[in-house]
Copies of this chain bind each other. A is one copy, B any other.
Amino acid sequence: MSHTTPLSSGNGYGFNSRAPLKIAIIGGGLVGSLAALSFARRGHEVHLYEYREDIRNAELVQGRSINLALSQRGRKALAEVDLEQEVLATAIPMRGRMLHDIKGNRTVVLYDPCTHQCLYSVGRKYLNEVLLNAGEKYANIHRHFEHKLNYVNLSEGRMEFKRMQTKEVVEDFADLVVGCDGAFSSVRQQLVKKPGFNYSQEYIEHGYLELCIPAKNGEFQMPENYLHIWPRDEFMMIALPNQDKSFTVTLSMPFKVFATIQTTADLLKFFHKYYADAVPLIGEERLIKDFFKTRPQHLVSIKCYPYHYGSKALVLGDAAHAMVPYYGQGLNAGMEDCTQLMSLFNQTSLSTAEVLQQFTELRWRDAHAICDLAMYNYVEMRDLTKRASFRCRKWLDTLLFRWFPSAWVPLYNSVSFSSMPYSKCIANRKWQDKLLNNVLISTVLAVIAIIIAIYFGVF
């Protein structure tokens, strides 16, 4: 149902004096539907193209809906389109990590024992639906589902789509083409061909596979307010709670380890050895069925520069900076792209080309930084969480955070619970490391001095 475009939105942006553009958004996922909404609220003519069917009509498979960890940056972006409360109302707060050791012992490590901030587990489908539904209020959003982008001429803003149902090819033109079409973006594929466009894609040696811990008697089988982790050095498993009281379980390990599991017996032996406590929760029958149903999927980290092409094209979200999923920041970073882009679009003194240029310059260091952090956190989650030195540092960080909440924000907290630029989060952590090292060295030297003093009978 479409209404007329509100001339003034309720969040204080108002209808700015920038001339309305015809904007084509490629990809109607989370970032695409948020971008469509954000542009529509500013009076632009938005065409949202998505190659799949409308997700609101798609079937939801129980326990298999991929869930996401929503944190500060995503919440902020939702707040700016007045949807934060609606999303949080049904999200499941996760206050910390619940670590499962190989014997089945569980330990809780809170994300933020001081100010009690937490992550929120939200269903991808649900979030997408909320964003699409919110867009229905705007007559200036035109949705085109089952339209696959065949080709885009970036200089002309000319696009060719194939209608998935009829195979018919249709053409459209836009002043600005915004690629929100994910890690394997077709829009970016054209950017990659432009001289001066830097690009890298790096696959990790680990694949992932999704399993499910179903609800039992209508209840969660594990405490639901945690992100569950089974760290096992070279591999690991995590589980996030779903609205339907199931958990979506993600098993990550090197492809070569996946390759060693060929039979039901291999699988059960492996699970009983490494994830014994999870076997009764998943159920052997379901484990076997889900494990062998699909092949492990690849994980890729993508960086590029710039994100735009003149005044005609832009990539956002995974299309600009896909990352491995181990910091839970993929969605949050993509949504923060929208926040930052819109803050530039609000500056009416800037031309579209200037907005896009400034967006690239504002964003690239932080996008590269979060890609690097996600890669680092993969090591932390499967390995460091088990180490005493990591827990000791965590304890020290928490203590200092409690004493100096504005001066000492631990890395994880600055990334997940603040809007500090990602690159600054890293710089901040480096500064903390340096300080702690200096304190450690000074302490050791002081202790040596005291021992010498005692030895020579000064005291």
Contact = CB atoms under 8 A, between A and B. Distances in A.
Interface of A: 184, 192-193, 195-203, 298, 300
Contacts of A192: 201
A200 B199 contact: yes
Contacts of A199: 199-201
Contact of A196 (B197, B200, B298): B298
Pairs A-B, 7 closest by C-beta atoms: A200-B200, A195-B298, A196-B203, A198-B202, A199-B201, A198-B203, A196-B298
A232 B300 CA distance: 41
Contacts of A195: 203, 298, 300
19 contacts: A184-B193, A192-B201, A195-B203, A195-B298, A195-B300, A196-B203, A196-B298, A197-B201, A197-B203, A198-B200, A198-B201, A198-B202, A198-B203, A199-B199, A199-B200, A199-B201, A200-B200, A200-B201, A200-B202
Contacts of A201: 192, 197-200
Contacts of A197: 201, 203
A195 B197 CA distance: 22
A196 B298 CA distance: 7
A195 B193 CA distance: 20
A202 to B, nearest CB: 5
Contacts of A193: 184
Copies of chain A in the complex: 2
A441 B310 CA distance: 54
Given A197-B203, A200-B202, 16 more contacts: A184-B193, A192-B201, A195-B203, A195-B298, A195-B300, A196-B203, A196-B298, A197-B201, A198-B201, A198-B202, A198-B203, A199-B199, A199-B200, A199-B201, A200-B200, A200-B201
A196 B301 CA distance: 11
Contacts of A198: 200-203
A205 to B, nearest CB: 9
A17 B196 CA distance: 47
Contacts of A196: 203, 298
Contacts of A203: 195-198
A325 to B, nearest CB: 16
A197 B202 CA distance: 7
A201 B196 CA distance: 9
A197 B298 CA distance: 10
Nearest to A201: B199
A200 B368 CA distance: 14
A195 B403 CA distance: 47
Nearest to A195: B298
A199 B184 CA distance: 13
A146 B140 CA distance: 48
Contacts of A300: 195
A319 to B, nearest CB: 15
A196 B201 CA distance: 9
A197 to B, nearest CB: 7
A456 to B, nearest CB: 27
A192 B184 CA distance: 10
A318 to B, nearest CB: 15
A168 B309 CA distance: 33
A189 to B, nearest CB: 9
A115 to B, nearest CB: 40
A153 to B, nearest CB: 17
Contacts of A298: 195-196
Nearest to A199: B201
A198 B198 CA distance: 14
A198 B303 CA distance: 12
A364 to B, nearest CB: 14
A185 to B, nearest CB: 12
A283 to B, nearest CB: 30
A27 B371 CA distance: 36
Contacts of A202: 198, 200
A193 B298 CA distance: 12
Nearest to A300: B195
A181 to B, nearest CB: 14
A195 B205 CA distance: 11
A192 B203 CA distance: 11
A324 to B, nearest CB: 13
